[in-house]
Structure 1
């Protein structure tokens, strides 16, 4: 009986300690006056550098707006996509804002805010490619993708051979040079790419609704932080900030 009582006591203490740690993340952010986000900085129009090398983008501006609602400043640490989520595990930052798809696999290890954007998945090929007309045509073809992205999982699902890349720009480059037949990404990124490089010979061969809407990623059991971020996202939509950011980067309101 004594062993059972002690076991229950230790279990209760561990649970209480876990709750305290979870609560401390938001408290630490408030105390420091800064929320730190991990992001790529190479993925237009979501997170990229403008002509004067300032970090900008839909996700960057949204992160700054969320921080303002939390009463703190936003700080961004840039990194390659395939190491971005691992940086959260290493506590390099408090959250990741980088079009992170909300998938069951990620939800098992991390917490997410509510979705803040959803877009179509597009299959991009060279404009002279007549072989790939839909997703099923990708079987046995090379698809250029970041290995840990949900687009890589989607390409594998359709039987593609994955060519690893570090960014959307690199993926497009491999398609243009013929080192890959195609790449998956979202339609808003593709439209932004074509807006800035209209003469590049690529096209959308097929599209479908996104396989995963995107959310702000945080460490597991961060209920207080998730609730605070969700409240901030709601307020941003109500007061028109979200619409303003949408129009700035997409020319239309993309709120859900």
Structure 2
């Protein structure tokens, strides 16, 4: 699994490029949302971000708002999603209100640098490069590479079994590189939806993606005749991103996440959106 682990690290670094969408380069506040001031009224110049959050009574999270099932608008145009509910639960533990600023992925971290919001809750993968410049909370999402086959397929039970098999994938994806490293022959598709359909139709033996993408698919199409037969040993971890220097806010968010994990809230939110718990490592 060493070569798969290395490739998964590459995949983690490219997650941001895959999830960004929208047409505006500027941050767009959600209806009713406000941007937290960097100097709350009545606070001293020495006040920390967390001091200001407590004084103001709210914490502002950045999120895309166009990235289902993590952060999106429902049929009533209400901002909802897995990351949204996790952020709201964290805020409740902090004793404040959660407010959200919606912005494109390609500008979301720059907005944190500019202090347009206090933190980012948008499936930000933990990478060494980011850890040099920012603080992360403890992970609240663990995604593993997964081999997906048709329900009656008993010939594939591991990544190694992809050798000589037809694997439906986008040829430019990191997952195609993973499949090819195990000897798989790529059947080119436009994305996961087409890949999974080729597997169901028997026109490909398997596809490879992260297990969370598959769980989201199954949550929406529970009767689809496909299954996961193997997962990677290493996970891509996602967490709340915080500015360097906001150590007290990081500690408070970590305490909140621990309470939410211990009382079952994180698991409950995960099962609502994915049917399984993706908030703890396998």
Shared fold (TM-score greater than 0.5)? yes
The equivalent residue for 1:41 is: 65
Residue 102 (structure 1) shift: 1.0
Superposed CA deviations along residues 153-203 of structure 1, whole A, max 9, x for unmatched, are: x888999xxxxxxxxxx9657979xxxxxx986321333135436899x99
Q: 2:94 aligns with which of 70, 92, 95?
A: 70
The structure-2 alpha-carbon separation of the partners of 1:191 and 1:211, relative to structure 1 and needing over 3 Å to count, comes to: closer
- Equivalent in 102, 106, 109 of residue 126 of structure 2: 102
Q: CA deviation at 1:81?
A: 2.0
Q: In the superposition, relative to structure 1, how do residues 174 and 254 fare at CA in structure 2: closer, same or farther (>3 Å)?
A: closer
Alignment CA distance shift 1:175-1:93 (3 Å): farther
Higher helix share: 1
Question: Any idea what SS the aligned residue of 1:31 has?
Answer: helix
User: May I ask how many residue pairs the two structures share in their alignment?
Assistant: 213
CA contact (8 A) 1:119 1:186 kept: yes
Are positions 1:120 and 2:144 aligned together? Answer: yes
Deviation for aligned residue 1:111: 0.2
**Structure 1 stretches lacking a partner, 5+ long:** 1-19, 125-132, 145-151, 160-169, 177-182
Q: Secondary structure at the match of 1:98?
A: strand
Scaled by the length of structure 1, what TM-score is found? 0.65
CA contact (8 A) 1:64 1:73 kept: yes
Question: In structure 1, what is the equivalent of residue 276 of structure 2?
Answer: 252
The structural deviation recorded for 1:85 is 1.6
Give the aligned partner of residue 40 of structure 2: none
CA RMSD of aligned residues (A): 4.1
The correspondence of residues 16-95 of structure 1 with structure 2, limited to 5 A, is: 24-95=48-119
After TM superposition, give the deviation of residue 114 of structure 1 in Å: 0.9
Q: Does the 8 Å CA contact 1:34/1:75 hold for their aligned counterparts? A: yes
Deviation at 1:238, TM superposition (A): 2.2
Residues 144 and 236, structure 2, Cα contact 8 Å, conserved in 1 = no
| CA distance in structure 2 between the aligned counterparts of 1:172 and 1:86, rounded to whole angstroms | 30
Runs of 4+ in 1 over 4 A off after TM superposition: 20-23, 154-159, 170-176, 197-200, 202-207
Is 1:243 the equivalent of 2:267?
yes
User: CA shift at 1:234, angstroms?
Assistant: 1.1
- Residues 77 and 209 of structure 1: CA distance in aligned 2, closer, same or farther (over 3 Å): farther
Aligned to 2:11: none
Q: Residue 87 of structure 1: CA displacement?
A: 1.7
Q: Distance in 2 between matches of 1:74 and 1:113?
A: 16
- The CA deviation at 1:222 is 1.3
Gapped runs of 5+ residues in structure 2? 1-43, 149-160, 181-189, 197-206
